Structures are given as structure tokens and as C-alpha cells.
Amino acid sequence: MSMRFTASFAWRDSRGSRRRMLLFISSMVLGVAALVSINSFGDNLERAIDNEARTLLGADLSFESDNPFPDDIEALIDSIGGNQSRRTSFSSMAFFPAPGKARLATVRAHEPGYPFYGSVVTEPAGAADRYLEAAGALVDGTLMNQFEVETGDSVRIGNQTYPILGRILETPRESAAVGLFSPRIYIPLAGLDTTLTTLGSRVEYEVYFQFPDGRDADALRDSLQATLRAADVGSDTVREEQEGWSRALTNLYRFLGLVGFMSLLLGGLGVASSIHVYVKQRIATVAVLRVYGASVATTVAVYLVQAIGMGIVGALLGSFVGVGLQTLIPVLLSDFLPVDVVFAVSWPAVLLGSGIGLGVTILFTLMPLLRVRSVSPLDALRSGADEHASPLRDPWWWVATAMAASGLVAFAIIQAPDWKVGLGYSAGLAAVFLVLAGLSSLLVKGLVRFTPASLPYVIRQGVANLYRPNNQTLMMVFSLGLGTFLISTLLVSQQVLLDQLDVLGGGEQPNLIMYDIQPDQVAPVEQLLAQQGVPVMSSVPIVTMRLEAINDETIDAMREDTTQRLSWAHRREYRSTFRSTLTKSETLVEGAFQGIWDGTGAIPVSAEVDVAEELGVDLGDRITWNVQGVMLDAEITSLREVDWQRLETNFFFVFPEGALEQAPAFHVVMTRAADDEQSARLQSAVVEAYPNVSSIDLALILGVFDAIFSRIAFIIRFMALFSILTGLIVLASAVIVSRFQRMQESVLLKTLGASRHTVLQIMAVEYTVLGFVSALTGILLAIIAGWSLSYFVFEATFVLHAVPLLLLLGTVMLLTLVIGMLNSRGVYERETMDVLRSEI
Amino acid sequence: MAVVLSVRDLTKTFKSGSRSLTVLDSVSFDLEEGDTFSIVGPSGSGKTTLLGLCAGLDGPTRGSISLCGHDMGSLGEDERARVRNEHVGFVFQSFRLLPTLTALENVMVPAELRGRRGIVDGARDLLAEVGLGDRLGHYPTQLSGGEQQRVALARAFINKPDILFADEPTGNLDAETSAHLEEIMFRLNRTAGTTLVLVTHDAELASRTGRILRLRGGKAVEQEVVPAP
């Protein structure tokens, strides 16, 4: 085999097809671009985290606890020395007098000093340097926007009113997204209304250290670990914080990498489908080469060289686009990032992305290229002289397919956060592929078979055209269908979740919860509600407690025992209630619920089934509770299932009446406001009268849901966009490669007397039906997926909203029609004789 | 004179499901260096099948073909391709020029496949000989049918073949162009001493060859020696 001939012939043979080839690989360009940009962004992110490690924590070391530090820890903190700064954080209602509105916020009360590294970025700049001395507040930008308050207005936390000195833009330890879920307010620790931290609220106490003497914070922390753990005090060092962020962000960008994987897969399929048609059109050339003595290897090599060339160009273009795209990612994800990511080209990412792009191009062109092997020189004498066997009978076709599949799976595994996710993702995509392919082929066959003969000719001809050889109908339906599937699944599941929230807030369900109400405030708060004309739907006492021991084995002892794995359920602070009956959201599954305790023996408690499983306890097991210093012995006498989706006060453990009445408690009161305005008025009235009382309304929950969902939706839309774009590229390629065939059809119709209008109508019907079948396939699959999600995951009633799906159907049909017609320009205009004479 | 092509008892049968169809049945003949030979017969008589078998484009069901001393039946696909490259020229009814190559490049392809270098001058001379010296850089779509067939003829002679197979070489051309092409073909044949095998419907063209094989239903019904003019 002459390499010289192969290379030069491959180059010459590509003349006239190079623009088409560029179109073939543009789907691959998208995939490489996605990979390069995502991986390059990941590299830059890691570098940024390394460079700004200390600013992530804002200190060299930190301790944190849910309770005020006990004396021995205070003594320890004293002995550690260095520069220290304390912070106390809790949730509280923030009342803004200017608009007269209140909302739950995360309050962080600081001492001077923190952050020792990095800074709190505010607008106006420098407000973070002044607010402690000026006894002012810094408020999250999102919260200020929500209530339309400005710097200079004031905010009341508890009984203290603070002038707002600036809006928070960036803070150490937290990404801006935190503000979406729980907006932050920074105030000075000095002068804090201490009733807020003593009356039931969950409070986090922190102390931050800076060691100007360059002490090894990790070594110091390790030496103190046992003491800290015994006192339930957590700690954090720069290295740990850095590792934590690194892990979380690696997962984020690896997940994004799966977006790249899908676009690469689609790109690969797009290239394979285009090459399939391209090779078919090259059969005459291959046959002539064979007549003149070219070996099978030489002819295959010619087209392999072209494929490699296409792969290289695709990889280069993709890298170029990817480097450009990379500048956009930090902007899109800035809310989630703890550091500023500086743009720099990551050459390893470029090399990896282009290498994978080149590899996938070659792997996916191998399957159609195998066809070249079976071209007989006899094809030069009589086209179609040799009946070619189905590729499924060619063992090499299976080898090439297996290589392509395993290459992709391996890539998914490399890119995914772990191998199971990669494997699952590949399997899921394969399943979607099979279902989509099956559904679309059924739909196309059904359409062709059941199109009534009474329909006008243009419609029947347009539908029949879907079966044109080389039309790549299945591939187009798959790509467009996949994109439509992703978008409609998103629409369907979003609707299911929103409907569920509507149900929660509908009818006679409560839609406003007030908590942290002290025992002496219960009656006045209920009275205030009555004055506002809203009902008290439930009023529940809550007592905070921790697990001390299970069946006499203390949690501390379990912690020491390395053979036992302690879960969140062992460590958490429990908020339990006491009552004599079960509520509507509870179902007894085992044992007998005892509502009254007569004071003798262990207290009979009812456990929720999941937490019981997590703790490894069952009926008859004994639990010792530490109720704010007082030990109470209890026995599990019943197990309950709880419907957590109801907006009610639900509990892991329920005590009987007669057990906790003397314990310090706070109350939760639930009510129903008629509308948002009444809810806002009610919250303001309560917080004005009782600043320690916090409230959450359904609108707030909806807001949080929307904030989370819109972030997830963005990534899914991104995937869908890639998919639809690939589908349109495949459509454009297919129309262009079958252009001569379309011209011949058009000429034949013209010769038979069809007008320009008729020919255009037939084409329009073909593209519209193609768009319709693709979109319908995706939507049908999305309805199945949406139903499965609502039934198995959300456990909600499946409700279908047709309008958004119909709009999507129309959009995909229109897009397909426009792209198809644009690429068919000039088909009708070609002179009849030109086409009839032409051999090419 | 050396025998260039020896065909013995050549039979080709195609199977379609349980039925088999014999398209060529026990055909035998020998051709020597410089012979001119035409195969004639009605459509479906097996002319093109015979040509394809003689050139080693396909394998027979029975019988043997010896082309330039090579037993084609014993050779594999790639070995037959090598024999074609070294000994055979081919002209097709529908020209079969490679659309992406210029006239000059089309002519050079067989020589390049052989790994020959410095072939541009030879290709240019051949194109000049067929009267296309001024059309070297033209693509097939820019040439008329007669011009395309002349390029194909030049391509067939670039490797100085021992034998030229032509399948209805004038079938797609008008009478005047056909006559011109025939002149060139026979001249090149005489000059190079190439054996010429033609498949044609054109009785006049056939009568210009030294021998005519008539096929009917796959059988050789007559071998006629044409008296020299």
C-alpha cells in the first residue's frame, strides 16, 4: 500500500466535499468544545482554589458548636492564643421597616478580625470595614432586591435596629448561591439581642484563629481532636476546607462533563450517519480504484485518512470554540463558586478534549467505512452488481461497534464522579436511545402505512419521502427527539412538583408556620392571629434533645468503637413533641401508640420508621434522651410512618403527655393566610410584637424550590440545546448529502407537470412531518419519564399540562421546517437537462 | 506470439434463493498479443459478465482464466487487483472518471496506484495524443461526453497495459464522436501492441476487430474471424 498515494488521493478525493465534511463534523465540534471548556474550567477552578485556599476559610483554624463552648473548651481556646474572632449564627426574622415586611434570614453576628484572609465584598466597597464599629448591618443583595431596600435603610433583628451600610456580594466560606436559599445578614456580635440565641433557635457558635507565628494548624487540630470531639465541637482547617470545596466542585464539573459526553455521543452518531451516506456516494470511485488495482486496504485507508483529517479539523475547531466558551462558564456558575476563576487556557484540557474528539470521530467512522471493504470492482461495470450483505453479518462491524461503545463507556466512567455513575449514565442513555429508536421507527412506519389514500397527493408524497434512501430519518428523529425529551421531561416534572406545592397550599391546608414561640407567648400570638382574622390550625410544643444512649450504650462509647458506624441520626439534635394522639399525617405501622404517661417506668415513645432504621432500633429498645441536661429514659413502643410532604409539624419522635411538660419548650403555630398580602401583614405584625418568633410561608418555600430548580434546569436545558443543535446539524447534513437525489425528484416531478409550488409543498410536508415525529417521540417518552418520576420519586399525583408541550412540539416542527427548507434552496431551480445529464 | 488471455470452459451461475441462473455457459477462447476481439450479443446474453470475469473483476463458477500468465482463479482479491494494475487497461460505457480529480489527475491514478513517480509528463503526453492537451486541469463535469471518454482512454493506457478491456466504449456517444474515439483507440492499440477486448452492440465497431464472439443466452454461438480489410 502506497502511503503517498493514499494521502494524496484522500486529499484530492475530498475536493468538492470539504464544506460538506465541515458540516458533518460540526456536531463533533460541539462535543469537543463542551469537553474542552468544561475541563479547562475545572483546571482553572482547582488552581483558583489552591491559590486562594486561606481565603476559603478566612482563617487558619476554626471551631464550631451548636451550643455555647463549655468551660474546658473556652480554656482551651484561651490557651491556643493567636488572633481570635468569634461569630454566632442563627436563623431569625429580619424586619425591614421601610417596606414594612419581614423574612426569615441567616444572621451572622461577628467580632472584629474575621475574615483574617480574604474579605467580605460589599457595595459600596469598604462597608465591611465599618459595620462593626458603626453598629450597622450588611445585607445579602438578593434580600435587598426582594424587599426593594437600599443602603441607608434599616433592618431590625430581634429588638435591635441596624442601619444597612452595604449589600453583601461575596463572603468567605460561602458561594453567592447560599443567599438564594437563606439570605445572610452580617451584624456586630456586640449588642446582639441575646434573647434570639437563647429562646429555642438553632444557634451555631464559631471561633476563628489566625496564627501569625506560622503554626501548623492541621497538627494543632489533630492534637486537640479528642478533646474537641468529646465536647461535640467541630473544627476546620484550611486544608480541610480546600479539600471539601475541591471535592464538591470536582463533582460539579465532572457532572458538567457528562453534558460533554452526551454531545460527543450525538456528535459521533451524527458523524457516523453522515459518513455512511458519504461512503455510499463514493462506491463508484472505490470500484474504479479497485478496477485499476487498488487493494482493499488502500481504498479503506483513503477514507480512513479523510476521517482522521476530519477528526483533526473537528478537534482543532472544537478546542478553539471550547476555549472561547470557557470564559462563559464562570459567569454562568458564579453563584455557586467560592472563588473568582481567572480565565487561562488549560493545555491538558485542550489536549484531552481534542484527543477524545479525534478518537470518537475515528471510532464512529469505522462502522460506515467497513462498507468500503465490500465494494467490488464489478460495481464500476454495473452499479449494484454486487448485492452487499447486511452489515450485521459482518463480524468486523460488530468489532467496530463494540470498540465505539466501549470507548464511550470508558470515557463516561473517566468523566463521571464515580464509575457507577458513569456506567449508569451510559446504560441510561443506551436505554433512552433504544426506546427513542423503537418509538420513532414505529411512528414513521405507522405514518407511512396508515396515511389515508384520500389525502392530497402532496401530503402522501411528503410522508413517503421519509423513506427516501440515505435520508437518515432515524438519526434525525433520534437527535431531535432526545432534545425534545430532555426539555419536556423538565417541563413535565417541574409541573408535577409545582402542582404538588399548589396542593400543599390549597384547600384548608396551613400555609404559614410560626415557630420559636415561647410558652408565655403562645396565647398572645394566637390572639394576634385571631385579630388578623386567621385561624390557628395547630399549636404544637417542641422540646429540643439529643441522644445520650441506646440500650444503655452511650453515643460517646459508640463513637469510640470503630466497628460501629454512626449516622446523622445519632448525632443530630432532635426536636420532639408530646401529645396524646396521632395526627393525620401519621400512620401507625407497629406496636401501640401510648398517648399518656403516668410517670412510672420508661417513657413510651413513638419513632418514625426511617429514623428507627437509621439508628438500628426497634420496638422495645431503650433510648436515653438528654433533654437540655436532664436524662430521660424512654422505650420505643410504636413505629409510625410519616407523610413528610404535608406542610405540618412532623416529628421523628413523639412523646406522650405527662413526660415533657416541665422541659423548656417552644411552640409552633400553623395558620392559613388568604393571600400573600395577608401573609406578609401577619408576619410583620408578629415579628413587630415578638421579634424572636420566626415564620416561613409557602411563598418562601416556592421561592427556594424555584431557585434550586432553575439551577438544575439550566444544566438540563444546556444538554437539550446541544442535542437539538446536533439534530439540526444532522438534518442539514442529510439534506445536503441527498441534495442531488432531491434535485432528481424535483426534476422528475417538474417533467411530469408539477409546479414549483407543489414541489415546495411536498418538501415542507416532509420536514414538518419529520419535526412532528421527532418531537412527538421525545414528548411521549417524557410523559412516561414524568409519570415514573412522579410515581416513584416525588410520590405525587401525575398531572399533565398540555399547553407547554404543544408549544414545544410546534417549535421543534418549525425549526425542522426552517432548517430543511433553507438547506433545500435551489433544488427546484436547477435546469432539468442539467440534472438529467449529470452523473455526479 | 504469446497468449495474453486464455479462457477455458468459463461458466458463471448466480443463485437467487433456491433458483440458480447460468448467465455464462462453457465459453472458451484464446487471445494473443496485439489481437483485437469483440464480444457481441443481445442484452442479457452475458457480454459484460464475460468481460468482468476476463479482467478478474469477478470469479467464475467453473472454468479457468489465464491472464498474462496468471491463473486468475487461484488468486485472491488483492492479487487480482495487482495483476489488473500491471497488465490491464479498462474503458467503461459511462466513462467512470473520478469526479473530484482533474483530467490529468484521472489519467495518473493507475500509475500512482503502482507507486510510479515522474508520471506527469507521460500523462500529459497521453492526453495530448487523445487531443486533450489543452484540457489538463478540467474536471469531468467541465468536459463533454466524448472528451470524458478520451480521458478514460488515456487513463487506460498510462500503465502500458498488455490488454485493454472496453465495455461499450462508444455506447454513450454520438456517431461523430464515436468514430473519432474509435480511431484513437485502434491507433493506441496498434502503437502499443496492446490486445483489445471490446463489448459492443455496434456491428460496425465489432467488424473492425480481428475476431468476433457472438453470445446468446450465455453460450458462445459463433466465433467469427474478420478478414483483414
**Selected residue of B92, B114, B172, B198 to mutate for chain A interface (largest A Cβ count, 10 A):** B92
Give which of A341, A338, A340 is closest to A179, Cα–Cα.
A338
Cβ atoms B62, B35 nearer than 8 A: no
**Selected residue of A288, A299, A837 to mutate for chain B interface (largest B Cβ count, 10 A):** A288
| The predicted structure's pLDDT at residue A341 | 72
Q: Enumerate the residues of chain A whose CB falls inside 8 A of the CB of residue B24.
A: none
Beta partners for A211? none
| The predicted structure's pLDDT at residue A23 | 79
Q: Enumerate the residues of chain B whose CB falls inside 8 A of the CB of residue A298.
A: 113
Q: Compute mean pLDDT per 10 residues along chain A, 840 residues long, and list them.
A: 82 84 81 84 81 82 90 91 91 86 87 87 88 91 83 89 90 67 85 73 87 89 87 86 75 67 76 80 87 89 90 90 81 68 82 87 85 84 58 81 85 76 82 82 80 81 76 74 81 75 64 84 90 86 89 84 76 87 88 90 92 91 89 93 75 92 86 82 84 77 66 65 72 70 75 76 89 89 85 76 90 89 76 52
What residues have CB less than 8 Å from A139, skipping those under 6 apart? A94, A149, A155, A164, A166, A167, A168, A183, A184, A185, A186
Q: Enumerate the residues of chain B whose CB falls inside 8 A of the CB of residue A378.
A: 52, 57-58
**Alpha-helical segments (H) within A451-516:** 457-464, 473-505
Does B98 touch chain A if contact means CB atoms closer than 8 Å?
yes
Q: Enumerate the residues of chain A whose CB falls inside 8 A of the CB of residue B113.
A: 2, 5, 289, 292-294, 298
Nearest C-alpha of chain A: how many angstroms from B229? 32
Calculate the alpha carbon distances from A109 to A5, A102, A206, A300, A780 in Å. Answer: 77, 19, 10, 72, 53
Distance CA A263, CA A305 (A): 24
| The predicted structure's pLDDT at residue A137 | 94
Calculate the alpha carbon distances from A590 to A305, A578, A581, A619, A652 in Å. Answer: 71, 19, 15, 8, 15
Pairwise CB contact (< 8 Å): B113 & A289 = yes
Cβ atoms A478, A436 nearer than 8 A: yes
Nearest C-alpha of chain A: how many angstroms from B191? 22
* Long-range own/partner contacts, residues B174-182 (CB < 8 A, 24 or more apart): B174/B146, B177/B144, B177/B145, B177/B146, B177/B149, B178/B202, B178/B205, B180/B146, B181/B146, B181/B149, B181/B150, B181/B153, B182/B208
Cβ atoms A672, A506 nearer than 8 A: no
> Cell for A408?
464511550
| pLDDT tens, position by position, B155-191 | 999 999 999 999 989 888 888 888 888 988 898 888 8
Pairwise CB contact (< 8 Å): B140 & A840 = yes
Return the beta strands (E) in A551-693 as ranges: 553-554, 573-578, 586-591, 603-608, 622-627, 630-642, 653-655, 666-671
Burial letters A214-227, b for 16+ CB under 10 A, else e: ebebeebbeebeee
Pairwise CB contact (< 8 Å): A5 & B113 = yes
Distance CA B6, CA B17 (A): 32
Does B92 touch chain A if contact means CB atoms closer than 8 Å?
yes
Give which of A60, A97, A108 is closest to A81, Cα–Cα.
A60
The string of DSSP letters for A732-752 reads HHHHHHTHHHHHHHHHHHHHT
Pairwise CB contact (< 8 Å): B86 & A293 = yes
Does B35 touch chain A if contact means CB atoms closer than 8 Å?
no
| The predicted structure's pLDDT at residue A702 | 67
Cβ atoms A774, A727 nearer than 8 A: yes
Does B52 touch chain A if contact means CB atoms closer than 8 Å?
yes
Q: Enumerate the residues of chain B whose CB falls inside 8 A of the CB of residue A293.
A: 81-86, 88, 110, 113-114
Cβ atoms A157, A92 nearer than 8 A: yes
Give which of A213, A206, A241 is closest to A89, Cα–Cα.
A206
Does B115 touch chain A if contact means CB atoms closer than 8 Å?
yes
Nearest to B101 among A12, A293, A385 (CB): A12
> Cell for A683?
408576619
Q: Enumerate the residues of chain B whose CB falls inside 8 A of the CB of residue A13.
A: 98, 100-101
Cβ atoms A510, A697 nearer than 8 A: no
Pairwise CB contact (< 8 Å): A294 & B55 = no
Q: Enumerate the residues of chain B whose CB falls inside 8 A of the CB of residue A288.
A: 96, 98, 109
Does B86 touch chain A if contact means CB atoms closer than 8 Å?
yes
| The predicted structure's pLDDT at residue A192 | 82
Pairwise CB contact (< 8 Å): A293 & B113 = yes
Indicate the residue type of A188. P
> Cell for A292?
485499476
Residue recorded with cell 443466452: B217
Calculate the alpha carbon distances from B42 to A7, A77, A674, B46, B168 in Å. Answer: 43, 109, 95, 9, 13
* Residues in A lying within 8 Å of B, measured between beta carbons: 2, 4-5, 8-9, 12-17, 284-285, 287-298, 376-378, 380-382, 385, 838-840
Nearest chain B alpha carbon to A288: B96
Nearest chain B alpha carbon to A382: B48
> Cell for B47?
457480454
Nearest to B141 among A9, A380, A840 (CB): A840
Indicate the residue type of A302. V
Cβ atoms B64, B9 nearer than 8 A: yes
Cβ atoms A93, A684 nearer than 8 A: no
Beta partners for A95? A102, A156
Does B77 touch chain A if contact means CB atoms closer than 8 Å?
yes
**Selected residue of B113, B143, B157 to mutate for chain A interface (largest A Cβ count, 10 A):** B113
Cβ atoms A708, A716 nearer than 8 A: no
Distance CA A93, CA A175 (A): 22
| The predicted structure's pLDDT at residue A839 | 42
Indicate the residue type of A348. P
Look up the CATH superfamily of B3-225.
P-loop containing nucleotide triphosphate hydrolases (3.40.50.300)
Helix (H) or strand (E) holding B227: none
- Across chain B, mean pLDDT equals 89
Distance CA B72, CA B18 (A): 28
Nearest chain B alpha carbon to A16: B100
| The predicted structure's pLDDT at residue A533 | 86
Nearest C-alpha of chain A: how many angstroms from B145? 10
Residue recorded with cell 468538492: A16
Q: Enumerate the residues of chain A whose CB falls inside 8 A of the CB of residue B85.
A: 292-294
Indicate the residue type of A465. N
Cβ atoms B37, B208 nearer than 8 A: no
- Please, is A515 exposed, middle or buried when counting C-beta atoms within 10 Å of its C-beta (0-12, 13-18, 19+)? buried
Peptide bond into B99 cis (omega under 30): no
| The predicted structure's pLDDT at residue B195 | 94
Nearest to A381 among B57, B83, B100 (CB): B57
Nearest to B84 among A8, A291, A298 (CB): A291
Nearest to A12 among B105, B140, B167 (CB): B105
Distance CA B188, CA A133 (A): 106
Nearest C-alpha of chain A: how many angstroms from B210? 24
Q: How many residues are given for chain A?
A: 840
Does B110 touch chain A if contact means CB atoms closer than 8 Å?
yes
Cβ atoms A341, A49 nearer than 8 A: no
Peptide bond into A115 cis (omega under 30): yes
